[in-house]
Structure 1
Amino acid sequence: MASLRAVNRKNGTEYVQVLYRLDGRQTSTSFEDLATAIRFKELVEKFGAAQALTTLGTDPDMTTMTVREWIEHHIEHLTGLRKSTLWDYQSYLHKDIGPSLGDLPLTGLTREHIAKWTQDLADGGASGKTISNKHGFLSSALNAAVRAGRIRTNPALGQRLPTSERPDMVCLSHEDFARLLANVTDHWKPLVEFLVASGCRWGEATALRPSDIDLATNTVRITRSWKRTYDRGGYELGPPKTKKSVRTINVPRATLDKLDLTGEWVFRNKAGTFVKGNGFHDRVWSAAVERTWPTEDAEGKPIKAIPDAPILKPRIHDLRHTCASWLVLAGVPLPVIQEHLGHESINTTISLYSHIDRRSMSVAADAIGAALGG
């Protein structure tokens, strides 16, 4: 902790001392005005005396814009972004960057501060992708600060970020999916079947209009997706995730024949509006998964998984992975799967799904074995 003390000189003038401990010893720093002393005291209390003194050395008047103030300025001057993206950036600032780094003077932000911040995110359970997204936003804001002459270099550049394991991908067998679908209530069966047949992302499927379905060619045109807006609970229509996500895909006619194409949206809730993911997950999906792979018996006792019949907990997004796995096992080339799923790069398709079918790798191993045997 630090404290303030007013001191009178012999000539009658007054100055302010900030009292604090440095390396275990009591010391103080003097200021001519109270406002500057208070800012220094707050830095000592939040970031330690050493950091506060470093900042004072580069900014004696303690007037440098803080990290929070600069990022607020940066967000206010961004143009051409969707509301959902702005909401994400504001959330990054208020929930993640601000509490840890916001009060630091912009000129005092170091690589060590950012490294500790990203590690704290990881320790708090954030995924590697989430950390990368938030760090990327901070780095872009700091790049703007460099261009504006606020700082000389960007301390976020070139940092190694904490990583995390990808959530286990669940690819359902044909039999497992049939069991799951049987436990979905009738109103929602066409949506669940369409998700696995098309491999669409949730936001893409629920943004489909009847005009996007061509029954003459059994194709579906994907041009839009629902996105969350900066207002909690709000949604807006926008383009899909990437440029290649705008695509036309073929879907089995038997699946398309089950769709109701008479409303504003292809998939509607019972009130007649588009389907929101959270409500569907809580009221429909979780219940169907629990009925298919119960974790408790009728008496409420935990059920242990049987090795040959494990208890699966697929996410809605796993229907997309399931679609991809069925295509791989059917021998569909990965570039075709890339186009079907709307991946921007073939590398994404390869990294996610090439491990599913080991037949080609087995042939390669057999060829090496034959050569060694010869």
Structure 2
Amino acid sequence: MDNLVSVSLRERGGRFHAVFYDPDRGQKWRTLRTSDRREANKRIRIAEDLVSRGDFDPWESPIPDRYATLRGAADLYLAEREKGQLSRNTIRSDRSALGGLCSHMGPAAKVRAVTSDRVKLYFRELIDDECADSTLRTYHTRFKHFFEWCRRERLVRRNPLDGVPRPAVSDALPRFLSHAEFDALVGAVYSDAEAKARGVVDGERSKHTSLHDGDIVWLAEVFFVAVETGLRRGELCAMEWSWVDMASRSIWVPANRRTYSDKDSFGPKSRRSRRVPFGAGSGTEAVLQRLHDETGGKSGPVFVGQRGGPLDGDYVSKRFKEYAGQAGLSEDYVFHTLRHTCASWLVMAGRHLVEVKEILGHASIDTTVRWYAHLDPTRLNAAADATFGRNGDRLRQARCGGR
């Protein structure tokens, strides 16, 4: 480094800066674009090296670094996101969305090269590839958050997503299983369990008969609990015995986010704890009672995976798709469909939407109404009958009395 130029690390407004000093040119502050001291020390060493080689003049331009590229900025953004209280699914979604944009723009693309028109072009390509509306909306949200972070870090002057309208919400209502379809789903599990117990796999006798009924039937039990409680996949896999109260027949879902495996974590979207009841004589009560009797129900996960820890959510989803296919169900059905099925069955059985909201843990009743109110038109008729049902008699009596 030039002997006449010195550099020091300073913090101002929660962000770190490199302060360069030259006896002839005075002092010059340059942002290091980070609030992390360790990262700031790495960047200031890079700046010192660039100055010493004559590749950088602090008085002429900002500190150049690898984060000026789109991929580099995305790496830094994801690293900072991983330090926050975010689920691993959210981080994976961020990584997937930004990875696709980086591939579209090219490996050496600069952050400032991403314009509203380029993002619109990328969205058009996704639409041509028959990307789902929900995925497009998720990508829009991920990109908007990322470029807002870039704007705060002064990597871009404006957020390019400000000029890209968010894809419209689909009018499609959530799909749910009929009782016959659910019976077919669990029937496929039982049939597979029986076949494996006999050593028959895919219609042919297998040389290996190590699998027995219990190795597969537990999936049917998971499906029963999911459809009767409306628990999300992460909540179901993370469920511990400390949440379960057999006496009051309820499951207490905590509000705080927690990790339940080496790659999964969960936290209610509403960030509120909730009590989820299960009925007397229900499949959920039978499953939990059996597991409670076997394990003592003192601690640890309710549903135990193959390695003794909590269930793997991706594995459960994969097996659901397999058995849904064997049962001849729609390819659109996913494990989350069981949650929609729970809500739909409750509404069709006459339960109030507020009760359904509390069981599912929706943050707003608007969500419950938008997705499930159409399933109970008789409730609207009953409300009209109770409020205005006698007005017809009053009018008829008034007309008769006036004659």
TM-score (structure 2 length as normaliser)? 0.61
The separation in 1 between residues aligned to 2:169 and 2:124, in whole angstroms, is 11
What is the CA deviation profile of residues 266-306 of structure 1, one whole-angstrom value per residue up to 9, with x for unaligned ones?
Answer: 11245543222333344x4345434433xxxxxxxxxxxxx
Find 2:302's aligned residue among 266, 271, 283.
266
Please tell me whether residue 178 in structure 1 is matched to residue 187 in structure 2: no
Match of residue 107 from structure 1: 112
Q: Which runs of 5 or more structure 2 residues have no equivalent in the other structure? A: 1-60, 191-216, 397-403
In structure 2, relative to structure 1, the CA distance for the partners of 1:349 and 1:324 (3 Å cut) is same
Secondary structure of the structure 2 residue equivalent to 1:220: strand
The separation in 1 between residues aligned to 2:325 and 2:141, in whole angstroms, is 38
Q: Percent identity?
A: 25
What letter is aligned with 2:263?
Answer: Y
Match of residue 164 from structure 2: 159
State the Cα distance separating 1:155 from its structure 2 match: 1.9
Find 1:80's aligned residue among 81, 84, 100.
84
In structure 2, relative to structure 1, the CA distance for the partners of 1:225 and 1:170 (3 Å cut) is farther
* 1:87-166 paired onto structure 2 within 5 Å: 87-94=92-99, 96-101=100-105, 103-163=108-168, 165=170
Query: What RMSD, in angstroms, separates the aligned Cα atoms of the two structures?
Result: 3.5
In structure 2, relative to structure 1, the CA distance for the partners of 1:88 and 1:257 (3 Å cut) is same
What letter is aligned with 2:303?
Answer: F
What letter is aligned with 2:361?
Answer: G
What letter is aligned with 1:328?
Answer: V
State the Cα distance separating 1:157 from its structure 2 match: 1.1
Which 4+ residue blocks in structure 1 deviate beyond 6 angstroms? 224-229, 363-367
The separation in 1 between residues aligned to 2:79 and 2:365, in whole angstroms, is 36
**Higher percent of residues as helix:** 2
State the Cα distance separating 1:163 from its structure 2 match: 4.9
What is the CA deviation profile of residues 15-61 of structure 1, one whole-angstrom value per residue up to 9, with x for unaligned ones?
Answer: xxxxxxxxxxxxxxxxxxxxxxxxxxxxxxxxxxxxxxxxxxxxx9x
The separation in 2 between residues aligned to 1:361 and 1:158, in whole angstroms, is 42
The separation in 2 between residues aligned to 1:288 and 1:83, in whole angstroms, is 28
Find 1:318's aligned residue among 337, 342, 356.
337
In structure 2, relative to structure 1, the CA distance for the partners of 1:226 and 1:165 (3 Å cut) is farther
Match of residue 368 from structure 2: 349
Match of residue 252 from structure 1: 279
Match of residue 316 from structure 2: 280
Secondary structure of the structure 1 residue equivalent to 2:265: strand
In structure 2, relative to structure 1, the CA distance for the partners of 1:285 and 1:109 (3 Å cut) is closer
Match of residue 51 from structure 1: none
State the Cα distance separating 1:225 from its structure 2 match: 7.3
In structure 2, relative to structure 1, the CA distance for the partners of 1:357 and 1:205 (3 Å cut) is same
Match of residue 328 from structure 1: 347
How many residues align? The count is: 286
Match of residue 215 from structure 1: 246
In structure 2, relative to structure 1, the CA distance for the partners of 1:182 and 1:75 (3 Å cut) is closer
Match of residue 243 from structure 1: 271
The answer on whether the counterparts of 2:87 and 2:265 sit within 8 Å (CA) in structure 1 is no
What is the CA deviation profile of residues 291-339 of structure 1, one whole-angstrom value per residue up to 9, with x for unaligned ones?
Answer: 433xxxxxxxxxxxxxxxxx54543222111111111112212122111
Please tell me whether residue 292 in structure 1 is matched to residue 332 in structure 2: no
* 1:27-38 paired onto structure 2 within 5 Å: none
